[in-house]
């Protein structure tokens, strides 16, 4: 009796410590949109690969895909939903284009050429569908070094998630039917834009409007909603109705509208006008080869003189 109990305990421990295969216990839902099929290792052109999305490029950088299916009887708007791989890692998430509506019973395919999401062959991966609030709607996975060339993962005829070794990819249609070709519904997906943010607030400070040289609001207020400036006013004028109840942030500084310049040679602001003494050039590439150009641009702007850079920065700040 004791031996039987010990054997049972050992079996339970072996079962709990063994690897859990996503494919073995996952079945297709019937009441919501879900991930129906993925292709991790599309073959390339040299080995008779297929251009699954019809864009003229064959291989993993274009033809890895995730397919969504709507099994319900209603059309569902998935615009603003997210596609992503493993949480807190992998590729950046991708936002499904606004106005993407998946009709009842239909399939839509998102290719890597649009999503930028790389399915990791070596370590395995988890592919996820999230709604606009970030709540997970569907999730599937596969093990590392498990995928085969042009062999998809998907729900089989029994409704279980598995590697479909006996079949071939069928993007845009049911997994147990013949592929209908590249003329299937393909979705657009966009990576996150860090410069666009949601929410609303009022910035308090000295506002330089840029309308004219002297147009400065000393007690300025700027209403920002979802990354867009909606109103600018003086505190003495009273706030517009649209700013009622919006959080206000005192900046104690000067606020400028404008763009961020990602590339500038600040030291060039110290260089005097170049009197090159020629009749000019035919295109913008010729002047750089002129013998006097190198000497002219290096006046006061040695790359090794840090004081010149400090002076250039001071001048830029003083000039606004």
Tell me, yes or no, whether 204 and 171 share the same domain: no
How big is the CA angle at 36 (ends 41 and 71), to the nearest 5 degrees?
165
Establish if 260 belongs to a structural domain.
no
Q: Same domain for 204 and 186?
A: no
Note the pLDDT of residue 18.
36
**227: domain CATH number?**
2.30.40.10
Does 141 lie in the same domain as 222?
no
Query: Does the residue 195 lie in any domain?
Result: no
Q: How many CA atoms lie within 13 A of 173 on its CB side?
A: 13
pTM summary value: 0.57
For residues 165 and 290, state if they share a domain: no
CA gap 186, 99 in Å, rounded: 13
Question: Using an 8 Å Cβ cutoff, are 205 and 252 in contact?
Answer: yes
Other beta carbons less than 10 A from residue 170's beta carbon:
24
* DSSP for residue 260: -
Last residue of a domain, one of 167, 190, 213: 190
Q: Residue 66: which of 78, 84, 80, 81 has the closest Cα?
A: 84
Show Cβ contacts of residue 249 under 8 Å, excluding neighbours closer than 6 positions: 201, 202, 203, 204
Contact 216, 208 (CB under 8 A): yes
Of the candidates 28, 67, 79, the residue with the CA atom closest to the CA atom of residue 173: 67
How many residues in total does the chain contain? Answer: 320
Question: Which domain CATH number covers 83?
Answer: 2.60.40.1260
Q: Same structural domain for residues 159 and 240?
A: no
Total domains, the chain: 3
302 is a domain residue: yes
Neighbours of 161 (CB within 10 A): 25
Task: Supply the pLDDT for residue 165.
Answer: 93
pLDDT digit string (tens) for the chain, length 320 residues: 444 444 443 444 433 333 333 334 589 999 999 999 999 999 999 999 999 999 999 999 999 999 999 999 999 999 999 999 998 889 999 999 988 999 999 999 999 999 999 999 999 999 999 999 899 999 999 999 999 999 999 999 999 999 999 989 999 999 999 999 999 999 999 887 665 677 899 999 999 988 888 899 999 999 999 888 999 999 999 999 999 999 999 999 899 877 666 777 777 777 777 778 888 887 767 777 777 777 776 665 565 667 777 777 787 777 76
- Is residue 36 located within the same domain as residue 184? yes
Residue 261 lies in a domain: no
223 and 142 in a common domain: no
> Looking at the structure, do residues 134 and 276 belong to the same domain, yes or no?
no
Task: Looking at the structure, tell me whether residues 246 and 270 fall in a common domain.
Answer: no
Q: State the Cα–Cα distance between residues 71 and 73, nearest whole angstrom.
A: 7
Does 126 lie in the same domain as 81? yes
In the prediction, which pLDDT does 14 show? Answer: 39
161-163, strands of its sheet edge to edge: 107-111, 65-69, 34-39, 153-155, 161-163
Residues 30, 295: Cα–Cα separation, whole Å = 73
Same domain, 180 and 224: no
**Measured between alpha carbons, how far is 256 from 319 in angstroms, rounded to an integer?**
13
Domain of 282?
266-318
- Indicate if 91 and 211 belong to the same structural domain: no
Residue 284 within any structural domain of the chain: yes
Q: Is residue 136 part of a domain?
A: yes
Asked, for residue 176, whether it belongs to a domain, the answer is yes
- The encoded tokens of residue 267 equal 């030291």
């Amino acid at each position: 009796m004791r031996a039987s109990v010990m054997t049972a305990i050992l079996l339970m421990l072996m079962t709990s410590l063994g690897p859990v295969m996503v494919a073995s216990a996952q079945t297709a839902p019937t009441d919501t949109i879900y991930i129906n099929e993925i292709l991790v290792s599309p073959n390339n052109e040299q080995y008779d690969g297929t251009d699954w999305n019809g864009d003229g490029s064959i291989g993993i950088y274009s033809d890895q895909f995730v397919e969504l299916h709507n099994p319900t009887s209603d059309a569902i708007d998935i615009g603003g939903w997210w596609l992503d791989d493993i949480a807190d890692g992998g590729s950046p998430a991708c936002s499904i284009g606004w106005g993407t509506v998946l009709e009842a019973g239909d399939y839509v395919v998102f290719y890597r050429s649009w999503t930028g999401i790389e399915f990791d062959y070596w370590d395995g991966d988890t592919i996820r569908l999230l709604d606009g609030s970030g709540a997970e709607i569907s999730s599937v996975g596969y093990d590392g070094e498990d995928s085969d060339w042009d062999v998809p993962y998907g729900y089989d005829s029994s409704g279980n998630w598995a590697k479909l070794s006996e079949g071939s990819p069928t993007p845009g249609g049911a997994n147990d039917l013949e592929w209908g070709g590249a003329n299937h519904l393909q979705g657009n997906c966009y990576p996150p834009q860090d410069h666009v943010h949601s929410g609303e607030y009022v910035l308090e400070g000295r506002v330089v409007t840029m309308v004219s040289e002297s147009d400065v609001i000393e007690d300025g207020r700027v209403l920002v909603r979802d990354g867009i400036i909606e109103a600018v006013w003086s505190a003495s004028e009273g706030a517009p109705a649209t700013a009622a109840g919006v959080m206000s942030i005192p900046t104690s500084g000067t606020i400028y509208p404008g763009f961020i310049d990602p590339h500038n040679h600040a030291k060039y602001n110290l260089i005097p006008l170049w009197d090159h003494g020629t009749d000019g050039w035919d295109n913008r590439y010729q002047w750089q080869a002129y013998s006097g150009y190198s000497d002219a641009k290096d006046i006061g702007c040695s790359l090794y003189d840090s004081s010149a850079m400090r002076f250039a920065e001071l001048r830029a700040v003083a000039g606004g």
